[in-house]
Amino acid sequence: MQTEQVIQVKQLAKKFGNFEAVKDVSFTVNKGDVFGFLGPNGAGKSTTIRCLLSLITPNAGSIELFGKSLAQDRSAILKNVGSIIEKPDFYKYLSAQKNLEIFARISGADVSAKEIAEMLDFVGLGNRAKHKVKGFSHGMKQRLGIAQTLLHKPELIILDEPTTGLDPQGIIEIRNLILRLKNEQNKTILLSSHQLSEIELIANRMVIINQGRSIVEGEVGNLLQSEETVVSIEVDDITKAMNSLSQHFAAASIQQITNKQLEIEVRKQDIPALSKCLVEAGVGIEALEPKRKLEDYFIKTIQS
Amino acid sequence: MLLKNTYNEFIKIVSKPRSYLGFGALTLLISIIIFAMKADGESIVSFVTASFEQTLSFNGKLVNGNLIAFIILQMLVVHIPLLVALVTGDLISGEAAMGTIRMLASKPISRTQIVLSKFIAGAIYTLLITIWLGVLSLLVSHWVFGSGDLIVLNSDGLVILPEADILWRFGLGFCVAYLALMTVATLSICLSAFAENSIGPIVATMAIIIVFTIIGTLDVTVFDTIKPYLFTTHMASWRSFFEDPIPYDDIIQSIIVLIVHIVVLIAITLYKFNKKDITS
């Protein structure tokens, strides 16, 4: 069965004056994907996303959404897209409900007052519907942004840094919301985030872009599978631990961090052997923690 | 979609506190003028008519509702552009400053429709301000001072218009004044498309009006060729309806100049906003 492509970006380029914000970005998002869109600051992520939403006109390349050219079928395409770009901004002098009514009217769908009320309940703002947005916290605005994104039941949801500025509780709420959208409603989600751990937890495919170019694209699992993991270990005898590991894992990169902590780069399947080696050498293990794989992969990819 | 967004734009305008500043300021200013004329109107009018009293005798009530309404219009038409620009100058740039422009422009509504809906909402707001000005100046001054013949002093001398021949002149005068205010509104919306903050277009609109007005009043030959094409030259053409005979050719020319300004400014706004990369 052929996979349905929801977004297809080919050789996208955008210049602002002499500055090339995006040089050559290509990627494909399939139906049902939670697609991680990664890159360091200034890599061209926001510019690319703004091109996808027709906020910025690219100088070169093509963008197809739902198999249609964005340049030619903008209105028809955007009826099926919901988005938050950076932080969601609303009309501060209007209530949450009025804001949603404003955006519902131009969403291209008939959204009833009941559906607006239900959506506010869905994001946990049902009891603040009549309150003016100027009194909302960043997290509440973010949730209202999600409500605005989902109001017209779009197939594709584009979220640019949806967890920026949120507290840990807020981050977990947004993560759970995204997972519900994928699992319960089979939405396609393009997610740009600096929170690599978030992407690792919820994305099934991803692209990494750097200096305006897409570098790597593929299944998150496949891309991370072959990679070695940095394991952080805290021990009671650092000298003994370093000697023992040097003998058994001669090829591995070992680095002493403090007088009780070291880091070693091994394959995931070698972690039990690593632990066994230290125990047999009589070293007391106080903590052993594999670092986030995507974080390492991301840094290595960007540096290479 | 155009109608839906026009409704949205109107909701935004009526929900902003600054939209009521114009109505409040007009009410206050007109109240002050009416109070001042009630207190000292007779002596002011006597001072104006003194030079004619050797050749003319004035009978009846000179300080009446029609005269007060005319004086109010004369005084306020200069200031109302600021009250209009305060709201219309914010229509596009205010969205950029607030960040809502991103959400608005990523919806399935064309940018042309966004601009046109803002223009229509701005036109409705300007109409409401003009109507408020008319209602306050005509109704309140008639209620306070009663009716009577209108004496207008212009560059050609004294024009006396009978009471029964005045109301339609005010009606048409307000229509032309509205067109002049619409030119100001369109100018500020146009400048708003170039800016990312609310204050810039408002200040720029007023600066343009002041500069053009100064150019229009300077008696310098080099400016004579451009004066007929400046919209500020035609902003007071509503006064022509209070001349006898009415210079219809001049009024039509003013209307054409103002409409051409409006059309050109809308075209510039559409071009700019459609080409604009939204990076804010």
Q: Which residue in chain B is spatially nearest to A56 when comparing CA positions?
A: B277
Please tell me the predicted confidence (pLDDT) of residue B56: 64
The label of the residue with tokens 């500025």 reads A165
Is some CB atom of chain A closer than 8 A to the CB atom of B14? no
What's domain A227-303's architecture? 2-Layer Sandwich (3.30)
Question: What pLDDT is attached to residue B43?
Answer: 74
**Integer CA distances (angstroms), A12 to A1, A62, A181, B168, B268, in order:** 28, 6, 28, 62, 29
Q: Is B199 in contact with B278 (CB distance < 8 Å)? A: no
Report the DSSP pairing between strands A188-192 and A156-160: parallel
User: Does residue B161 carry a pLDDT above 80?
Assistant: yes
**Cα(B244)–Cα(B224) distance, integer angstroms:** 26
- The reply to whether residue A89 touches residue B12, judged by beta carbons under 8 angstroms, is no
Domain spans of chain B, in order of start: 2-275
pLDDT value at residue B60 = 66
Enumerate residues 6+ apart whose C-beta is below 8 A from B261. Answer: B183, B186, B187, B231
Report whether pLDDT(A1) > 60. Answer: no
Q: What is the pLDDT of residues A50-63, one digit of tens each?
A: 999 999 999 999 99
pLDDT of A80: 92
Peptide bond into B245 cis (omega under 30): yes
Structure tokens at B123: 């036109």
The percent of residues above 70 in pLDDT, for chain B, comes to: 92
pLDDT band at B155 (very low <50, low <70, confident <90, very high): low
Lowest mean pLDDT among A25-29, A62-66, B224-228: B224-228
Tokens representing residue B150 in the block: 């209108």
Give A73-96 pLDDT, tens digit per residue: 999 999 999 998 878 889 999 999
Q: In B, which residues are within 8 Å of A105 by CB distance?
A: 4-5, 7-8
Six-digit token pair at B28? 């206050």
Instruction: Check if the beta carbon of residue A107 is closer than 8 Å to that of residue A181.
Output: no
Cβ atoms B257, B231 nearer than 8 A: yes
Which of B8, B11, B106 lies nearest to residue A85, judging by beta carbons? B106
Instruction: Say how far apart CA A38 and CA A160 lie, in whole Å.
Output: 10
* Beta carbons within 8 Å of A254's beta carbon, 6+ residues apart: A242, A245, A246, A262, A263, A264, A265
Q: By the CB < 8 Å criterion, does B21 face chain A? A: no
User: For the domain with range A1-80+186-226, which CATH number is right: 3.40.640.10, 3.40.50.2000, 3.40.50.300, 3.40.50.920?
Assistant: 3.40.50.300
pLDDT of A186: 85
Q: Is A91 on the interface with B (CB under 8 A)?
A: yes
Cα distance between residue A274 and residue A262, in whole Å = 13
Q: Does B104 touch chain A (CB under 8 A)?
A: yes
Phi/psi for A145 (5° steps) reads -60, -40
- B107/A148 touch (CB, cutoff 8 Å), yes or no: no
pLDDT band at B175 (very low <50, low <70, confident <90, very high): very high
> Given an 8 Å threshold on Cβ–Cβ distance, is B102 in contact with A55?
yes
CB contact A53 to B (< 8 Å) = yes
Q: Is the pLDDT of residue B58 over 70?
A: no
pLDDT digits (tens, 9 = 90+) for A235-277: 999 999 998 888 888 888 888 888 889 988 888 778 888 888 8
Global ipTM? 0.81
Residue with tokens 């891309």: A223
pLDDT of residue B256: 95
| pTM higher than the cut 0.90 | no
Position B67 scores a pLDDT of: 87
B274/A contact by beta carbon, under 8 A: no
pLDDT (mean) for B148-154: 77
Helices (H), strands (E): how many in chain B? 12, 2
pLDDT of residue B51: 66
B277: alpha, beta or left? (left if phi > 0; alpha if psi -120 to 50): beta
* Residue B3 contacts A, CB cutoff 8 Å: no
Domain ranges across chain A: 1-80+186-226, 227-303
The closest alpha carbon to B102, from A161, A155, A209, belongs to A161
How would residue B207 be classed by pLDDT, with cut points 50, 70 and 90? very high
Q: Considering chain B, what is the average pLDDT of its residues? A: 87
Encoding tokens for residue A131? Answer: 């309150």
Choose from A63, A87, A106, A138 for mutation: most chain B CBs within 10 A.
Answer: A106
What's the mean pLDDT in B122-136? 92
Residue B222 has pLDDT above 90, yes or no: no
Q: What tens digit of pLDDT does each residue of A174-225 get?
A: 888 888 888 888 889 999 987 777 787 888 899 989 889 988 888 887 777 6
Predicted confidence at residue B64, as pLDDT, reads: 83
